[in-house]
């Protein structure tokens, strides 16, 4: 039998909200991974343009456009580089929602992650 936790005293709405918060956090962590993959993919793409620029010996105008417009450029209208987008997401929105998630876990589940799954496991063990 599992130890009694704050989750035992939570309402059904509290439990449902906590589960939604956990699912939301999982999705945002997946989004973070996609953003990191975007950062790496853009970097690999830029590497190819850099290689092309070095091979355009007889195409000065095209090589110059690559050097001036693409290679030093950011990916947004205001010139942000991909690592800046990743960092802003991590330090801003993701940090904020993780803080809310931590607060919800602390208040409703004694700070333990995956409380709904733990409770379901405990119920299964008790009925076995």
**pLDDT tens digits, residue range 30-65?**
999 999 999 999 999 999 999 999 999 788 999 999
% of the chain exceeding 90 in pLDDT: 60
Residue 3 has what pLDDT? 58
107 lies in some domain: yes
Q: Please indicate whether residue 110 or residue 106 has the higher confidence score (pLDDT).
A: 106
94 lies in some domain: yes
How large is the average pLDDT for residues 81-96? Answer: 98
The answer to whether 81 touches 99, Cβ cutoff 8 Å, is: no
1 lies in some domain: no
Whether the predicted pLDDT of 6 surpasses 70: no
Residue 118 has what pLDDT? 76
Distance CA 60, CA 53 (A): 9
The count of structural domains within the chain is 1
96 lies in some domain: yes
Q: Give residue 10's domain range.
A: 6-127
Return all residues near 74 (Cβ < 8 A) that are at least 6 apart.
Answer: 80, 81, 84
Residue 96 has what pLDDT? 98
13 lies in some domain: yes
Which residue bears the tokens 């830029």?
A: 46
89 lies in some domain: yes
Q: Please indicate whether residue 101 or residue 110 has the higher confidence score (pLDDT).
A: 101
Please, what is the average pLDDT of the chain? 89
% of the chain exceeding 70 in pLDDT: 95
């Amino acid at each position: 039998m599992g130890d009694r936790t704050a989750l035992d005293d939570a309402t059904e709405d509290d439990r449902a909200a906590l589960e939604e918060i956990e699912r939301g956090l999982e999705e945002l962590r997946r989004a973070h991974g996609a953003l990191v993959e975007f950062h790496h993919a853009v970097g690999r793409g830029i590497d190819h343009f850099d290689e092309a620029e070095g091979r355009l010996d007889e195409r000065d105008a095209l090589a110059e456009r690559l050097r001036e417009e693409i290679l030093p450029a950011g990916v947004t209208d205001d010139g942000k580089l991909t690592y800046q987008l990743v960092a802003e997401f991590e330090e801003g929105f993701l940090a904020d929602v993780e803080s809310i998630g931590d607060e919800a876990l602390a208040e409703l589940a004694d700070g333990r992650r995956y409380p709904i799954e733990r409770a379901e496991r405990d119920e299964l063990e008790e009925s076995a």
